[in-house]
Every structure is written in structure tokens, then in C-alpha cells.
Structure 1
Amino acid sequence: MKETSLDRDLQNRHTVSDNNIIRLNKYLAMCGLGSRRRVEQLVADGRVKVDGKIAPGPWITVNDRSVVEVDERPIVPLKRIYVVMNKPRGCVCAVTDARYRTVLDLLPKKLWEYRPFPVGRLDKDSSGLLILTNDGDFANDLIHPRNNISKTYQVVLNRPIAAKDVVKWQKGIWLDDKLVRPKIVKAIDERRCEVEVYEGLKREVRRMAEALGYKVVELKRTKIGNLKLVSLKEGAFLTFSREELLQMVHSGGVI
């Protein structure tokens, strides 16, 4: 597995400066204690103290000088990590799974302590570009429709696709009572096409193909925004800083 020098220099923790005052619920989430909802429950249960006093609510603010404790143990935020992987077929986009190998199993154990999670969906039988991070705000920005970050897929169908069906696909397919209109549908050859979408619905590309009477036999994500998968081997990964990854997603990059 390939790693950048940044990965070798990772430190376990980072701090919140005096000038970066944040709400307690965000701080707790940055410490890897779970979602905003879960950490707010910790506060409601009286398990969180700030500077020796039980926190009155998740809305209070903290900074680098604050001493935050959960169950009488001091906590500090996890350092943020940003991983780009070429996911192989056969593993699931989950943190844990009782039946299948997960994408986290492809990472070295030294990265597990940062508690990364996959951003968005890529089902077990699909492959290609996948981002993992422990930065919830970054993940939300990446997948939220308002930011117009598209995902591009190479799709292999079970039979040749008719030109009229390419046109129908481009005009949009009804899924879950919603008209889902891809940004681009382009035939590459008889059975292979490129599909670029924004929504990120569950099994979106496969379901659109099925609605037209086709079955997807191979599905590979080749782009996230303007970040393009070219040479990174299946199962391999690279780490980046937040700024590096955002630059590639928005302005272009090749891995």
C-alpha cells in the first residue's frame, strides 16, 4: 500500500486554538466520540465536564485552554486524516461488518486509532475512488447536493445499450418518487458507458440502469469532482492534507 510522507508524520492529536472557539458538541465529535447526536446525549446524561463543572448543554463553547472530561477522563480532539483509496470489489463501505471485509481492513492498524469512516456509498460489488476521513464537516460538505460535487462512473452493462436509452437516461429516471437526472450519460462502446451524477442515492446508477431494462455487471467510480483515478492500484491508498484534497476535488488532480 502506498502512503505519502504526510502519513508517516501523523500525530495522534491536534488542538483548538483560542481564536477557534467552537461549540462543545463539535469538540466532542472531533474527539472521535461519535455523531453530534450521540455526543449531545453524553452531555444530557451529565457525563461531560468542562473546567471541572458538568456541562449545562452542548451549546457552550470551548477553546484550547478548556479542560474537557468525559466520565472523569480528559479528552482532546483526534488529528484529522484524509485518505483516498481505490476500493476493490468484494469489500463493504463500513467501519465494521460481521460478514464481509471492510474498507478499513485495507488500512494499516496505525490509522484505525484515528477512527476514519468512508464518505458516501460504494457498494460491495463496485470499485474505484473512495475517500475516508474522521472529519465529519468535511464529509458532509463533500456529499451534500448544495456543493455540486459530482461522481463519475464507468458502467459495463449486460447487453449493448440502445441510443434511445442513452437519451432516456440523460433526461432522467424516476427513483423513490424523484426524477434523478444525471449530469452526463455517454456511451463509450456497445456495453460500456460513463455516467456522472450528483445525488448519491443508494445504488443510484444500478437502479437507473435497471429501470431501463439493463443489468450492471461492472461499476467503477473514476472521479470525485475533478479528482480522477488513473494509476492507483486496487486496494492501495494515499493520504493528503485537507487543503490538498479539496484542491484536487475542486480544481483537478490525478492519482
Structure 2
Amino acid sequence: MARKSRTPKWLEAARKRDAEAMAQGRSDWLMRALGRAGVMPRAEAEAAIRAGRVEVDGQVVTEPFAPVSATQTVRVDGREHSLTASTRVLMFHKPAGPVVHGTDPEGVGTVFERLRAVLPEPLRGYEWLAVGRLDRDTTGLLLFTNDERFVRHGTAPQTHLPKRYVAQVEGQPNASALQRLRDGVELEDGLTRPARAESRASDVVELTLTEGRHHQVKRMLAAVGHPVLTLHREAVGDVVLDVAEGGWRELQEVEVSKALGFRSERESDEAP
């Protein structure tokens, strides 16, 4: 008989605290709120909280999952910080090598380490979340945000946010292969959505997808007989990569709302 999986007690407690916080009209966990507002990344925030360095409304709080709202007074080492946080989104030009994970057992490094190394001091206090993933050997546009809601928007299947890739492949895809990509390819996890497929050179395919399955570009091209040699993502929505490899820039509010179709809480509240 298979053993019944059990939810860890710490996770049960965290979920209970989160539910209680929402019921009381409080907005977030303290550790996460500090990272979202740019006070300090979550790992540093957790250590600071457990060390008794954080006060909420004049009381020392040592529980990282304590509920907190933006209206409360929060101090770290005696200095007051606002928890009011707007959605911020960064463009990063990922080089080949680093992984989109918290750690890299191979020692090459992570995209989070690469990004933090080039950010100015005012932006290093944020907890930057990757919006989706790129494989270790894939280069190009990777978005980061301080807002979990934007991560969900950018990765949710129902959003159908287009992502444009350029792949150098084995062989020379003909018109029939490109049409198969446009119509949808049958993979082990089902038929893919119709895609935009164009030839840029005899062995280079531009492929725009509106879904994000695991290794989808590589699997689609392999399925039509042209395995990928190199892969680069050059656009997400209407945002086109425009920084050098290893570089970054912050997106303007209009890019987030118009080019990526994300509505902030303020915009949602103001909508009729």
C-alpha cells in the first residue's frame, strides 16, 4: 500500500496564518512583504526577523510568516520602512550557462546571482522573481518582478502571452515543416496551440508561441525533424529584448500595462 503523503507542519501553519491574515484584512506575510517592498530579499528578511531585528507597530516580531499590512509601521534595526509596493518588472538578457533556479549544483551560477551583481544598490533589496524559465543553454529575454501576481500573469496558460524565439536547427526546414508548426504539433502531452513559424535563414526558424510547456520549442522542432542547436528568446508580448547580453533595464509602466497586458491593483480598482 502506498504511503499517504503528509503536509509538513510548517506548511500547514503557514497556510493557516495566511488564511487568518486574509480574514482579518491583512495583506501579506512579513518576510514576503519586506522582499516585495525592496527592504531586503526574503532570505535576509527571514534571518533579520528571527534575530529579533524587526518590529511591527512597536512590537518585536520573530515569526517570518506573521501577517502584516501596508498600513502598519515596520522598523528594521530601528529604521522605519514602508511596505507599500508597486509592481516592478525588469528585463534581463540571459547568457548561456546560468540556471533559472535558486542554486546551481554544477557551479556555473544562477540568473538571480547574475542579475543581482549588475543591479544598483536601491534595487538589490527586492526579492526578484523570474517570470517563467529558460533552459541553461537558452539565451535571451527573461523577465523578473517583485510581484507574484505578475508572475502568474506571465506564466498562466490562459493568458496566452506570446513569446518569440529564434532557433538555429539541424537541417533546412521546408514549407511543409513550417506549416506543421503553424497548425500544431502532436507531442506526448498533447497537440500544441497554433504557432507563428517563419524562416529567417535556411537553418534558422522564428517561432512564436502562446503557451509555455516544458522544453516546448525544442520538442516541436524535433518533432518536425529539425532538432535545435541554439535557442534565443527575443520577445515577450510586445516587449522586445534591447539590452546587451548580461545587461538589464526596468520596464516602464506603459510597457507592463500595454505591451504585456498586466493591470495593477490600482488599475483594477479604477476599472468600471
Question: Shift of the alpha carbon at 1:145?
Answer: 2.3
Question: Shift of the alpha carbon at 1:50?
Answer: 7.4
Q: Number of matched residues?
A: 214
CA–CA separation in structure 2 for the residues paired with 1:84 and 1:200: 18
1:88: which partner in 2?
A: 95
1:95–1:102 CA contact under 8 A, matched in 2: yes
- Deviation string 1:31-77 (CA, Å, 9 cap, x unpaired) is 3386xxxx9xxxxxxxxx976699xxx9x88441x3579xxxx9864
- Deviation string 1:195-243 (CA, Å, 9 cap, x unpaired) is 11121111110011112222101111111001112x4211111023555
Counterpart amino acid of residue 95 in structure 1? G
CA–CA separation in structure 2 for the residues paired with 1:211 and 1:218: 16
2:169–2:229 CA contact under 8 A, matched in 1: yes
Question: Shift of the alpha carbon at 1:170?
Answer: 1.6
List aligned pairs for 1:141-160, cutoff 5 A: 141-160=153-172
Extract unaligned runs of 5+ from structure 2. Answer: 1-23, 36-40, 47-54, 263-272
CA–CA separation in structure 1 for the residues paired with 2:193 and 2:171: 22
TM-score w.r.t. the length of structure 2 is: 0.65
1:100: which partner in 2?
A: 108
Q: RMSD value over aligned CA atoms?
A: 3.6
1:186: which partner in 2?
A: 198
Counterpart amino acid of residue 110 in structure 2? T
Report whether the alignment pairs 1:217 with 2:229. yes
List aligned pairs for 1:90-129, cutoff 5 A: 90-98=97-105, 99-104=107-112, 105-106=114-115, 107-108=117-118, 110=121, 111-129=123-141
| Structure richer in helix, relative to its length | 2
CA–CA separation in structure 2 for the residues paired with 1:113 and 1:244: 23
Counterpart amino acid of residue 201 in structure 2? D
CA–CA separation in structure 1 for the residues paired with 2:154 and 2:69: 26
2:244 to 225, 228, 233: 233
CA–CA separation in structure 2 for the residues paired with 1:29 and 1:87: 25
Query: CA, structure 1 residues 141+23, in 2 after alignment: closer, same or farther (shift >3 Å)?
Result: farther
Query: CA, structure 1 residues 30+22, in 2 after alignment: closer, same or farther (shift >3 Å)?
Result: farther
2:33: which partner in 1?
A: 30
2:182–2:196 CA contact under 8 A, matched in 1: yes
Counterpart amino acid of residue 111 in structure 2? V
CA–CA separation in structure 1 for the residues paired with 2:192 and 2:29: 33
Identity of aligned residues (%): 26
Extract unaligned runs of 5+ from structure 1. Answer: 1-20, 40-48
Counterpart amino acid of residue 130 in structure 2? P
CA–CA separation in structure 1 for the residues paired with 2:199 and 2:255: 32
Query: CA, structure 1 residues 75+215, in 2 after alignment: closer, same or farther (shift >3 Å)?
Result: same
List aligned pairs for 1:25-104, cutoff 5 A: 25=28, 29-32=32-35, 62-64=69-71, 66=72, 77=83, 79=85, 81-98=88-105, 99-104=107-112
Report SS of the residue matched to 1:188. Answer: strand
CA–CA separation in structure 2 for the residues paired with 1:92 and 1:78: 31
CA–CA separation in structure 2 for the residues paired with 1:217 and 1:93: 20
- Deviation string 1:162-184 (CA, Å, 9 cap, x unpaired) is 22111122221233432112431
Report SS of the residue matched to 2:259. Answer: helix
